[in-house]
Amino acid sequence: MMAENFSLLALLLSLLYLTALGCIYRILLSYRTAQGAIAWILALIGLPYVAVPLFLIFGRYRFGGYVKVRRMGHQSINPLLDQFENQDTSIPGEDHTHFTDELQVLCKLGRQPFTSGNRCTLLRDGEATFEALFEAMEDARHYILLEFYIVRSDRVGQRIKTILERKLAQGVEVWLIYDNIGSALLSRKWRRELAAAGARIASFGDGNIRRRRFQINFRNHRKLLVCDGSVGFVGGINLGDEYLGTAMDQEPWRDTHCRIEGPAVIGLQLAWLEDWNWASSERPQLEWSPAATPPGDEEVLILPTGPADTWETCTLFFLNCINNARHRIWLASPYFVPDFQIMNALQLAALRGVDVRILIPEKSDSPLVRLAAYSYLVNASQAGIGIYRYQPGFMHQKVVLVDDRYAAVGTANLDNRSMRLNFEIMAINTNPAFIGQVDTMLKDDLRHCRRMSESDYQDRSIAFRLACRAARLLGPLL
């Protein structure tokens, strides 16, 4: 009996170490940084029973299943991209003197063009955003496309479901993608009733069932709505009551969203379609021709990023913004856990005289992220980077302002998840009036901020500083 148990144990250990060797093989073929690769390899050799399951869940940084589906879907999506690039409102860089190499790089990263003829409305809180979302859905005549990281079946969720059911009864098609991790609390009843009314609903995590269990680390963090291909929304607000910040026991919620009318909405629609192509085999019939009369005069680029991209698109987006800033780079993000590339770029920008300001919340929904942010204070302060903590409540907006040349609103944070693991999306606008609105908004936010100093970290206890440094070590997972 003992011999049989020993043989079984030996077999299990052999399988465990063979799996660990397989993980090491994958690391050596595709590692991103030497430090991360060495850490994983040491863990897999020394503690394989812990490291192997962790690596299978958290160790991969390319969304392999999505990449394959993207390649298969290109046969139908590529013609739409070509049509989008060649339409009259798409801007060829060489014909516009203000359209610099910096902006052309962003087009290449997003595989989309800047478009002219747009009109954007800045939405500065949950109440204004939801009112605009509700109105756009009520006005839809043909179809409504939704994609949100978090969808709840609370009051906001019920209001949206009621509107969608009414629109379905009027013959409007509804297509919804939600993230199965972010929307884990979304009730089955909510989904079942909306599907029974005729909506097509897909969970992003269920797109490839064979790989689902090993890719829960990849999340669709996008938040967008498209109605009839002519009106779209993108920003930091999900579909839930907390984004109103009205609950008795809840801190005020500070967030930013953007309403877009015009040809750039086609860019949102293309990003949605590629995600739907992964999540479901159904293909909706959508409008791909912009209105004959553009609603505005703003130039806008939609920049989708994610772990299925050829490059680390989100990282390159932020590096491009920081490295090309001439006078100022202001960044608002609820999660500030930058890697060494981003931190070095911020330091260099500050050292060359750029006004670098990082807006983060005083109160965070992640204690580890809050602690990790303190560990950057010394290097930031010494370089002249201003880190400002927003005081009144939880600040969740994701906004970038580069000089007076362009502003971006979307879903990407200054952390590893957004840079490498999540599917994100940003709307970049070069219009002076819109940039002025973002400037005014961030200046209002800064008046409610406290600038942090080196002493906020150095004067704290040894235990606190150790906790901050330990939390920073978990940066790749936060």
Per-residue model confidence (pLDDT) at position 94: 52
Res 221 pLDDT > 70:
yes
Neighbours of 133 (CB within 10 A): 23
Catalytic residues: 221, 223, 228, 396, 398, 403
Phi, psi angle pair for 449, to nearest 5°: -110, 160
Q: Quick one: residue 232, left, alpha or beta (phi over 0 = left, psi -120 to 50 = alpha)?
A: beta
Res 9 pLDDT > 90:
no
Residue matched to tokens 């797109």: 207
Per-residue model confidence (pLDDT) at position 18: 85
CA-nearest of 299, 235, 222 to 263 is 299
Beta bridge partners of 192: none
Hey, what are 238's tokens? 């999900």
For residues 80 and 273, give the distance between their C-alpha atoms in angstroms, rounded to a whole number: 10
CA-nearest of 134, 223, 141 to 176 is 223
Dump pLDDT digits (tens) for 252-305. Answer: 899 999 999 999 999 999 999 999 988 887 788 898 888 778 888 999 999 999
Res 208 pLDDT > 50:
no
Which residues are within 8 A (CB) of 233 and not within 5 positions of it... i.e. 6 or more apart?
123, 129, 132, 133, 136, 224, 225, 226, 257, 258, 259, 260
Phi, psi angle pair for 395, to nearest 5°: -95, 120
Coil, strand or helix at 199:
coil
The yes/no answer on whether domain 313-477 falls in CATH 3.30.870.10 is: yes
CA-nearest of 89, 88, 80, 83 to 118 is 89
Res 112 pLDDT > 70:
yes
Give 90's DSSP letter. Answer: B
Q: Which has more pLDDT, 146 or 42?
A: 146
CA-nearest of 281, 286, 289, 315 to 413 is 315
Per-residue model confidence (pLDDT) at position 65: 60
Q: What angle do CA 176, 365, 221 make, to 5 degrees?
A: 25
Dump pLDDT digits (tens) for 365-405. Answer: 888 888 888 889 988 999 999 999 999 989 999 999 999 99
Beta bridge partners of 261: 119, 231
User: What is the bridge-based pairing of β-strands 173-178 and 143-148?
Assistant: parallel
CB neighbour class for 210 (10 Å; exposed up to 12, middle 13-18, buried from 19): exposed
Confidence (pTM): 0.88
Dump pLDDT digits (tens) for 48-75. Answer: 877 777 777 666 656 656 655 555 556 6
The domain limits of the chain are 2-58, 64-300, 313-477
Measured between alpha carbons, how far apart are the two ends of the chain, in Å?
A: 46
CB neighbour class for 185 (10 Å; exposed up to 12, middle 13-18, buried from 19): exposed
Hey, what are 148's tokens? 């949100």
Matching fold, domains 64-300 and 313-477:
yes
Dump pLDDT digits (tens) for 420-471. Answer: 889 999 999 999 999 999 999 999 999 999 999 888 888 889 998 888 888 8
* Architecture category of domain 64-300 in CATH: 2-Layer Sandwich (3.30)
Hey, what are 131's tokens? 């009112």
Phi, psi angle pair for 130, to nearest 5°: -65, -35
Region 14-34 average pLDDT: 78
Q: Which has more pLDDT, 248 or 24?
A: 24
Res 241 pLDDT > 70:
yes
